[in-house]
Amino acid sequence: MANYTKILMAVDLTDDSAEVAERARAIATNNSAELHIIHVIEPLSFAYGGDIPMDFSGIQDEIHQQASQQLEKFATEQGVAADRRHVVLGRPEVEIHALAEEIGADLIVVGSHGRYGLALLMGSTANGVLHGATCDVLAVRVGVSR
């Protein structure tokens, strides 16, 4: 098993994030690794294809502010240092890969809902992260009873 030194935990700030954090913290503790956390906000224009003649900047700023507050609270509960907390705007898999490269992460930990059928065809963040990562990826199964 690899000895990880920098771990990037990607969370969506739902209740499932606690399961992802538990696994990431355990691996970080066992390896004396530096733990970073990222939450990616998708631009509203992505959801509407950029074809809506509206200015979403005020709403987007509010979403960013709320996400930053939620991540600060969550990261504090998880013991992640303030300088290792990242809230970014963009496509989740792209931004997760970019930050992993920037910090030199050797493991990305992300939640996976284990979707199938149409939900799988629509794509998932975990799948996108797995297929473009240059380091190991751990997809933690979340939202299922064990």
Q: Residue 66's domain is classified under what CATH number?
A: 3.40.50.620
For 48-107, how does the pLDDT look when each residue is reduced to its tens digit (9 = 90+)? 555 556 666 788 889 999 999 999 999 999 999 999 999 999 999 999 999 999 999 999
The length of the chain is 146
pLDDT band at 118 (very low <50, low <70, confident <90, very high): very low
Contacts of residue 93, Cβ cutoff 8 Å, sequence gap at least 6: 125, 128, 129, 132
Distance set, CA 26 to CA 23, 31, 52, 58, 102 (Å): 5, 9, 44, 38, 23
Whether residue 19 contacts residue 110, with contact meaning beta carbons closer than 8 Å, is answered with no
Quote the pLDDT of residue 58.
85
108 pLDDT higher than 70: yes
> What's the pTM?
0.85
Q: Directed axis angle between helix 92-103 and helix 125-132, to 10°? A: 40
Quote the pLDDT of residue 57.
76
User: Is residue 1 a part of any domain in this protein?
Assistant: no
Please give the average per-residue pLDDT across 19-47, as a whole number. Answer: 92
Q: How many domains does the chain have?
A: 1
User: Is residue 146 a part of any domain in this protein?
Assistant: no
User: Is residue 106 a part of any domain in this protein?
Assistant: yes
Please give the average per-residue pLDDT across 95-120, as a whole number. Answer: 82
Quote the pLDDT of residue 38.
97
Range of the domain at 94: 6-141
